[in-house]
A and B are shown apart, each in its own frame.
Chain A
Amino acid sequence: MDAIISVRGLTHVYSPNTPFEQVAIKDINLDIYKGEIIGVIGHTGSGKSTLISHLNGLIKPAAGTVTFNGENIWKSKEFTHSIRFKVGLVFQYPEYQLFEETVYRDIAFGPTNMGLKEDEIRGRVADAIRFVGLKPDILEKSPFSLSGGQKRRVAIAGVIAMMPDVLILDEPTAGLDPRGRADIINHVKAYNKSTGLSVVLVTHNMEDIAQTVDRIIVLKKGEIMMTGGTSEVFSRGKELEAAGLAVPQITQVANRLFDAGLNISTSVYTVEQLKNELLSLGGARK
């Protein structure tokens, strides 16, 4: 299967040639395939945000390339601009970017910039608002009158309305209550299922990652420290802790049980998996 986005040898340095020079990311290689959900985790300052800003052409690589369906996203100015619509990027605290008078017009901002027709925009806004789980009557309200969780969803809808092929979410659940978190994560999962778009989820919340993604990339000090399937990465808890990260709570429980002498796998990351592990153990004892 061909990768939809390919990153090769990507390096970026902030404020080069000044006392504040800082290498943000170094020699990153990465492929994103159609339809998958990838988790990118890393400690604060590990280069997560810098990496994703390269994926839709906001930052020009200092070295290395980013390709979309095999074409370099910097091959022409127009192409870079069009990539922004194909790779939808939702920043951290996206509710702080709302600016229009009504929710409808804010969500329509992206599609309008794409040059779509009024009917098409109307349809997309309606779809987007449904995908993020909001009622259509919210469309005529001012975005500033909404609650925090609603604002966040409106902002995400603003990106979804562009119908990107890849959706990148930077800390989409930061600062939300457990209910709001679950809502957003579930809607993203459902959206991925129904449309088959690729999702990149950037977070340092391990619980979000455990429930959602197919594959994990761990960043440490601007480099890829490890990458692999969810259970594979979470079975290397010690290394993750050394990078300032934790494993999901249920994996921690499994690790403690293992240390206490139970012969179970420590690569579990959902309650269901641990339950099965423990039940199989009981079966063996009989």
Chain B
Amino acid sequence: MIRDITLGQYFPGDTIIHRLDPRVKITLTMLYIIILFMINGPIPYLIMTVFLSVAIYLSKINLRLIFKGLRPILILLVFTTMLNIFYTQGGTVLLNIGFVTVTTHGIYMAFFIILRLILLISVSFVMLTYTTSPIMLTDGLESLLGPFKKLKFPAHELAMMMTIALRFIPTLMEETDRIMSAQKSRGADFETGSILKRAKALIPVLIPLFIGAFRRAEELAIAMECRCYRGGQGRTRLRVLVLDKKDYAVTILTLAVFAISIVMSYTIVWGVITR
């Protein structure tokens, strides 16, 4: 059922990962992703994998949830593997059927590309969506984008829009579910027929859904105006983000791990991958 989709889902908890300052989490996650594309060689990848595994362990997030989060990109993963295996040449030839040639180098490349993608997706799930509440996430983002306000960048408005969008994902999902059930009760069939027929079958769902979304938007706008919302200017916060000892400790530790991975990638020659 549609409600089982975990997109943008937050799992409340009280672990060190949950308690970290969102700004630290956002920055380190972005850095992690950048580093993933800079390193090469088995040991640096091992370090990054172990690092993420420790984070997952600390966050007490069920591994199954992470696999569930990876499921939507399964096709992408398979496709990338194919491309890399078939189009990367070099190393020992393992298989040769017609124009298809599989080499050790190809398999090696495919393995690391996949690992990279999996790490990339999992890190954003574990560090951001699963362990950070949407409010903390947008607060952190607004704070990080704060310096750009001087350049007339609407950081607050952007954060507010994100908060609202995130807030309405579950609501709209639920509404979709309800409308689908209602139309199914009138004999609508979403599961059989050609793609065209199925797309047409969605009209009775999409129209009420859009109308509902506009209605909600209008109601929300009125509610915000009733409480004198005027944008970010002069607005104070209930929860002010403050970095404490654990945030500094985690940052330093993480940066050290990143540094080691990079140094190892560029000083040691890893046989096959560097040719």
Contact = CB atoms under 8 A, between A and B. Distances in A.
B208 A113 contact: no
Contacts of B178: 91
A58 B181 contact: yes
B94 interface: no
Interface in A44-59: 53, 56, 58
Contacts, number: 62
A58 B2 CA distance: 13
Contact of B182 (A97, A113, A162): A97
A81 B186 contact: no
Contacts of B246: none
B204 A84 contact: no
A159 B185 contact: yes
B186 A53 contact: no
A89 B4 CA distance: 23
Nearest to B207: A99
A68 B62 CA distance: 41
Nearest to B4: A15
A91 B189 contact: no
B179 A96 contact: yes
A98 interface: yes
Interface string B1-13: 0011000000100
Contacts of B11: 19
A190 interface: no
Interface in B65-86: 65
Contacts of A39: none
B184 interface: yes
Contacts of A96: 175, 179, 208, 211-212
Contacts of B208: 96-99
Q: Is the interface of B mostly helix, strand, loop or mixed?
A: helix
B158 interface: no
Contact of B187 (A19, A85, A94): A85
A202 to B, nearest CB: 14
A162 B181 contact: no
A94 B212 CA distance: 12
Contacts of A131: none
Contacts of A85: 187
A91 B188 contact: no
Interface string A81-102: 1001100111100101111000
Contacts of B4: 15
Contacts of A113: 186-189
Nearest to A16: B4
Contact of A94 (B175, B182, B188, B211): B182
A97 B179 contact: yes
A88 B185 CA distance: 7
Contacts of A89: 182, 185
A12 B12 CA distance: 24
B183 interface: yes
Interface string A159-191: 100100000000000000000000000000000
22 contacts: A14-B3, A15-B3, A17-B64, A18-B65, A81-B189, A84-B185, A91-B182, A91-B185, A94-B182, A96-B211, A97-B179, A97-B204, A97-B208, A99-B203, A99-B204, A99-B208, A110-B186, A113-B187, A113-B189, A144-B211, A158-B186, A162-B187
Interface of A: 14-15, 17-19, 53, 56, 58, 81, 84-85, 88-91, 94, 96-99, 109-110, 113-114, 144, 158-159, 162
Given A84-B184, A113-B189, 7 more contacts: A14-B3, A19-B62, A84-B186, A88-B185, A90-B185, A91-B181, A96-B175
